[in-house]
A and B are shown apart, each in its own frame.
Chain A
Amino acid sequence: MILNLRTLAGSLALVCLCASAAGQGASLTKDEIADAIRTDDFSIPMPAELMAALEKQGKLDWSAMFRPPIPTNYPNRAQLALNLGSLVADGFIAVQAEDSRQVINLGKDIIQLAKNLGVPKDILTRSSSISDFAERKQWDQLKEELEATQNEVKEAMHGSKDSDLVTLVSVGGWARGMDVISNYISAHYSETSAKILRQPGIVQYLNRKLDSLPDKLHDDPKVKNVRMKTMQMEMIVSFPRDKAPELADVKKLSELATELVKEISQKEK
């Protein structure tokens, strides 16, 4: 009897071990996928990741992608948040172009926008470190500094009454990244580079967050317009894994992203 129990216990232990090993290798269920954690600062890639992927296709002229300076004193907080994200993306473009002057100017604008959003003073000291790294041409450190600045601003917003604005910072950064990258790919089309534009997870996440904004923000004309554009963009960036979007689709995406970034930065008259 004892022997039988031992044999049974041994068998059970073996089954458990096998189940454990199988658990590590098994596929995920639909429920597990649906319930996966999605967070702003982990699930949404920084513009530098997209730029790194595109750079694999060859050396790019990043300075050709600069845009004229935008205002930093919008009266509307939603618009301030959207433009803060887009300016951080501009910062990454300037770092990629290795243009110290542009980085310093953008660093100042980013901090000014953050200040106008009421971000605590201690975070605003990052402006001087951005300038220092830029003057020393420490490009890798600058990328880290820009990421850290954006994340700290978002954390400060989470900790205050502005947590809903965090989504808008992410949307602004994503839109400007898509603007630049889709413009480049439409002008230098290849199937390989066009496949980089596949981003259904990002845009679905952002659209869900936009839909769940409180009414006051959700009904803001700028935010409504953003939502309309991102809905159209979602259809284009949700192509199958094994296919590339056609040139016409990339051009359409580029038009939408450019319009979106322009509308975000335009001041109401």
Chain B
Amino acid sequence: MKRSLIIAAIAAGLVVAPLHAATDAEVEARRVALELAGAFSNDGFKLRDGVCAGTVEPGKPKIVQVNLYAGNEYWFSLAASGKAKKVAVTVFDEIGRKIDAEPYQEGVTAAAGFSPDASGPYLVKVEVVEGGPSAFCLLYSYK
């Protein structure tokens, strides 16, 4: 049900209208990221309506701040489209220490899941591990 809603939302262009005309690569990255996040919805995770999207180059990761609540579980889903062959998503606490998250990695998709032990800011790093510059889309689900 949830997955069909997500697909319908993509089709209708309802998932956060971008400020600029999205490129084909950006649209593809968003589609794949939503598909990946859809898998977590089967476990009761709710997809947050909002994405972080743009381009990422090898050696120039993007770091995004999020604010999370202790008690919730989170999955960060990343997809890239372009010259990337392998991407990674890593979560850090507010002072930059790496969080031991449950990893998922499959080519141009990656995900990290964890339950914060403290509420507050966290940082999510998005990077191209192999390949070239690509459009990316990062989103998260919670329960």
Contact = CB atoms under 8 A, between A and B. Distances in A.
Determine the interface band of chain A, counting residues with CB < 8 A from chain B: 35 or more
Contact of A152 (B17, B52, B70, B95): B17
B50 interface: yes
Interface residues of B, number: 46
Contacts of B64: 36-39, 42-43
B83 interface: no
Interface stretch (A52-60, A72-80, A208-216, A253-261): A52-60
Given A56-B71, A148-B49, A199-B67, A28 B120 contact: no
A21 to B, nearest CB: 9
Interface in A144-177: 144, 147-148, 151-152, 155, 158-159
B92 A27 contact: yes
Contact of B19 (A24, A159, A241): A159
Given A27-B98, A198-B119, A241-B118, A151 B16 contact: yes
B50 A151 contact: yes
B94 interface: yes
B68 interface: yes
Interface string B48-89: 111110000000001111111111100000000000000010
Given A56-B71, A143-B46, 4 more contacts: A36-B63, A42-B138, A46-B48, A155-B17
Interface of B: 2, 5, 9, 14-17, 19, 46-52, 62-72, 88, 90, 92-98, 118-121, 123, 125, 127, 129, 138, 142-143
Interface of A: 20, 23-30, 32-33, 35-39, 41-46, 48-50, 52-54, 56-57, 140-141, 143-144, 147-148, 151-152, 155, 158-159, 192, 195-202, 205, 241-242
